[in-house]
Amino acid sequence: MNVLSIAWREIRAYFATPVGWLALCAFLGITGFFFVAVLGLYNMQATEMQYNPYAGSQMNIDEYLVAPFFGNTAVILLFICPALSMRLFSEDRKTRSIELLLTSPISTLEIVLGKYLGAVGFLAIVLLCTLHYPAQLFWLGEPDPGVMASSYLAVLLLGSCFLAVGLLFSAMTENQILALVLSFVTLLMFWILGWVEELASGTFKDVLSYGSLINRMEDLTKGLVHSKDLVYYLSFIFFWLFATHQRVEAYRWR
């Protein structure tokens, strides 16, 4: 119950601050731009291939429209999630309200989980606000519902990983801007693992492939939900939440 109360408090805090509304409006505005751009490119390619029966049959809406849209959405999350997570602990540390939390009859685990679930809950609300995009696709064409659902699952899991990283850096400093920068730099390093992988070979390439967050997303955006990908994302989240728990617990002993 304490976890849900803290999570609900954090969700309300997002809508009570400019950061939450700016993140929501920016996300919807940029995803809207990408959706129109991807849809326009798809229509142009479809027009060029309409006289070629062999090429036209290969114009799959899931591959040429859904996957690129959610791929662009993942890029946006790389910038949005650090902004959403930067205030979770930093603000409490700056205002000294973290001391009230730590001296209250609430465990450190409940505090960490509550704040994290609040951020993930707000992210879920942000993603729900984009449901009018797939609604238009179902109206105009016949995308695979399974691919659409797994793609939303992919961006939610990816965003949850980003928020877990940001939560730790928010707990490490009371400067929100510093927490944002550290989160973004760390996430960018995980992001470019997929690029470096293309230049590597052998065992090193396998290691980079395993550590890349983006590579894990590719199968999900194709409708392929593998347990190994889900376990990887959940393990990633667990590691960063555990590190955050240890960091916050250390404040109790100061």
What was the pLDDT predicted at 138? 80
What was the pLDDT predicted at 205? 57
Contact assessment for residue 184 and residue 79, using Cβ atoms and an 8 Å cutoff = yes
What was the pLDDT predicted at 37? 84
Task: Record the tokens describing residue 147, joined without a space.
Answer: 């691919």
Task: Report the candidate in 126, 125, 145 with the shortest Cα–Cα distance to residue 135.
Answer: 145
What was the pLDDT predicted at 206? 60
Alpha-carbon distance of 12 to 101, in angstroms, equals 18
| Cα atoms found within 13 Å of the Cα of residue 7, Cβ hemisphere only | 17
Written as one letter, the residue type at 74 is A
Contact assessment for residue 59 and residue 141, using Cβ atoms and an 8 Å cutoff = no
What was the pLDDT predicted at 119? 94
Alpha-carbon distance of 184 to 162, in angstroms, equals 9
Element (H, E) at 138: helix 132-140
Task: Record the tokens describing residue 239, joined without a space.
Answer: 């590691």
What was the pLDDT predicted at 159? 93
What was the pLDDT predicted at 113? 93
What was the pLDDT predicted at 244? 93
Alpha-carbon distance of 39 to 36, in angstroms, equals 5
pLDDT tens, the chain, 254 aa long: 688 888 999 999 899 888 889 999 999 999 989 888 887 777 776 666 666 655 555 566 767 678 888 888 988 999 999 999 998 888 878 877 777 777 778 888 889 999 999 999 999 999 999 988 888 878 877 777 888 888 899 999 999 999 999 999 999 988 899 999 999 999 988 888 766 655 555 565 566 666 667 777 777 877 777 888 888 899 999 999 999 999 988 877 76
What was the pLDDT predicted at 200? 55
Alpha-carbon distance of 191 to 186, in angstroms, equals 9
- The structural domains of the chain, with segments of one domain joined by +, span 2-30+69-251
Alpha-carbon distance of 189 to 180, in angstroms, equals 14
pTM of the predicted model as reported, rounded to 2 decimal places: 0.89
What was the pLDDT predicted at 225? 78
